[in-house]
Amino acid sequence: MASIELNKIVKQYGAVTAVHGIDLAIEDGEFVVFVGPSGCGKSTTLRMIAGLEDISGGELRIGGEVVNQREPKQRNIAMVFQNYAIYPHMTVAENIGFGLYTSKLGKAEKDARIRETAKVLGLEKLLERRPAALSGGQRQRVAIGRAMVRDPAVFLFDEPLSNLDAQLRGQMRLEIKQLHQRLGTTIVFVTHDQVEAMSLADKIVVMRDGHILQVGAPMDLYNRPGDIFTARFIGSPEMNMIGATLRDGRPEFGANSGSVRWNVGEGVPSGTGERKVSIGVRPQELTLMTADGGQSDFLIEGTVRVAEPHGSETFVHLDLTEGSIVARAPSDRVYRPGEKLCFAADGKNVRIFDAATEKLLH
Amino acid sequence: MTTAPASIVTAATKYRFRPGLIVAWTLLFIGGIIMVTPLIFMFSTSLKSAGQIYDLRLIPASPTLDNYIRVLSDGRFVRWFLNSSLIAVVVTVSCLFFDSLVAYTLAKFNFAGRKVIFLAILSTLMIPTEMLVIPWYLMSSKLGWLDSYWGIMFPGMMTAFGVFLMRQFFETVPNDFLEAARVDGLNEFQIWWKIAMPLVTPALSALAIFTFLGNWTAFFWPLIVTTDKDLYTLPVGLSSFAVEQSIQWEMIMTGAAIATIPTLLIFLFFQRYIVRGVMLGGVKG
């Protein structure tokens, strides 16, 4: 096991900078997930940790030692790739054993390690099969087995679940989490799927355009996103954003003033003058009001455009005077297009972001 | 009851009555006959005695295996057969190794001038052997390689065609495989040998077949570089049958028939690789 430190890590491809001097500390045994849209630099960062990409600037430490110039094999890491990268010309046993190719262990010991790994991953009966005869989930397990068998200090996962169907993805997610709980090895996991990030991570690193936007525990990021991008990226459906103007500490909703009402409490940035802001509230934090909303701090009223029943809940898309929002509603009734609905939220759950800098104000 | 087969009937009808297809099949059939006739004639002549060879009937009046016994009991023929085998095998192994090594480097490593080097190698395909023979001969003469196995083999030990063919295949090998091996601790040579090479087996088979057949039937360069009859390859040796004595067609045809056997066997067993190789590497005679 080992900690990982990234100090001002930069990656440049010619004149293009893919990663802009990022700093990050990953604790020993931590499960860290890099999340962000395509091209945000998350895979590049992972590949720099693996030693598959040269580091253009900064310092990378694994287990306290600077490893910038070390070959992948000298870093005591193991990596699981998006396409599994299990060799089609080798059996499952040979694939798992390949992780021990350079190991000085004896044959009997290697065999024992392969069997032990196969047992943990439920591959014992498949050891003589070739990858072509395996399902997607089994192939992924073989890839994990090849990484596990070496007992590395760090596991690196590069979008390992993106080629699986939704059901299998959920199952493998669970298995990876259990594996981490059992092994306690440091894991760095890259994904563009926020559900994976939320459900797996001890710590999520949100990246965009080669920068780290926010680092934190999943629920911290969910509850206190530092900016609009993180607020929208984490959580599904994404956070609603309603344009407003903050005048002398009071929000004004312009064209939406008939649809949105907010009796602001304490903590809202005061001061004089006006400032363009975005008011953020999650669909799950809205509650359907049966009457006129009573004494709720935050009320929002709109017309149903479309309703998506999910079984246990229904997500209702509401048109406001300007723009639209999504709200979670009970699934015990039918919501018809054109119907007027009113939702309330606790003022504590309503966030204010600066429209220009996109940073959280409140 | 008739609904299900309707589409099948339509497809079959379409297939049967397309005029373009009839023309194509007819042309291919005629082409096939033209290709096969000399071979059949060769085998037929090899079964005729000296007096019957100008009797152009395909099935000999009194077939005999005497020619085969005479050819195979002639020590020179066996020697040429072995020479051809040795040269074809060594050159094939060499091509598989070096062409793949170069192709892999060009396909999977990023370095300055990679494309230029590939184009330079590829451009040598445009130079006909006839133009290269004189420089090869001068080089062999200066280095003392005339009348030696090495002299016969060296021009073919690495080929631009092989590099081109293998590069196309290596391009299709996902980088993840190679990177996984790199993380697992293999060095670059091991990655090539243990991971990349097994993944391009179809291409290696195609290249092996092309190279073997090309060298098995090589005539022009071995004829020029050798004067020692013990070093003749089979095609050169067979041609000498025609020159040194009165032309013994039945002996030439028998020798050629025996020389064709490895080619036929290879084609029979590795047909699908040959077709795939031709499709991938363009056409190579």
Where do the domains of chain B lie?
6-46, 68-281
What percent of chain B lies above the pLDDT cut of 70? 88
CA angle B67, B70, B72 (to 5 degrees): 105
Mean pLDDT of chain B: 86
**Alpha-carbon gap: B186 to the closest alpha carbon of chain A (Å):** 7
Mean per-residue pLDDT for B220-249?
84
**Alpha-carbon gap: B123 to the closest alpha carbon of chain A (Å):** 30
Q: Which is more confident, B271 or A360?
A: A360
Contacts of B183 in chain A (CB under 8 A): 50-52, 72-73, 77-79
Amino acid at B28: L
- Are residues A289 and A342 in contact, defined by beta-carbon separation less than 8 angstroms? yes
Identify the pLDDT of residue A84: 86
pLDDT one-digit tens code per residue, B161-206: 999 999 999 999 999 999 999 998 899 999 999 999 999 988 898 8
pLDDT at B6 over 50: no
Identify the pLDDT of residue A291: 63
**Alpha-carbon gap: A8 to the closest alpha carbon of chain B (Å):** 24
In order of B5, B208, B218, the CA distances from B149 in angstroms are: 65, 20, 13
Cα separation, A229 vs A207, in Å, equals: 10
Identify the pLDDT of residue A94: 93
The structure tokens 């065609």 sit at B161
pLDDT one-digit tens code per residue, A207-257: 999 999 999 999 999 999 999 999 999 998 999 999 998 887 788 887 777
Cα separation, A2 vs A77, in Å, equals: 10
Cross-chain CB nearest to A81 (options B180, B195, B199)? B180
* Architecture per CATH, B68-281: Orthogonal Bundle (1.10)
Cα separation, A26 vs A87, in Å, equals: 31
Contacts of A77 in chain B (CB under 8 A): 183
Q: Write out the two tokens for A233.
A: 């990226």
Contacts of B197 in chain A (CB under 8 A): none
Q: What is the DSSP letter of A39?
A: T
pLDDT at B9 over 80: no
Identify the pLDDT of residue A105: 87
Identify the pLDDT of residue B280: 60
**Alpha-carbon gap: A265 to the closest alpha carbon of chain B (Å):** 54
- Whether B183 sits inside 8 A of A72 (CB atoms) is yes
Look up the ipTM and state it: 0.81
Residue of B nearest to A86 (CA): B177
pTM score, whole prediction: 0.79
Interface test with B, best of A73, A80, A103 (most B CBs within 10 A): A73
Series of mean pLDDT values for 10-residue runs along chain A (362 residues): 92 94 95 94 95 94 93 91 89 91 87 91 91 89 90 92 84 88 93 92 95 95 93 92 85 80 70 81 90 73 93 93 91 91 88 90 80
Q: Is A238 exposed, middle or buried (0-12, 13-18, 19+ CB in 10 A)?
A: middle
Q: Where do the domains of chain A lie, and which CATH numbers do they carry?
A: 4-233 (3.40.50.300), 240-354 (2.40.50.140)
A residues 175-234 near B, CB within 8 Å? none
**Bridge partners for A299 per DSSP:** A261, A344
Cross-chain CB nearest to B185 (options A50, A82, A101)? A101
B residues 166-205 near A, CB within 8 Å? 174, 176-177, 179-186, 190, 194-195, 198-199, 201
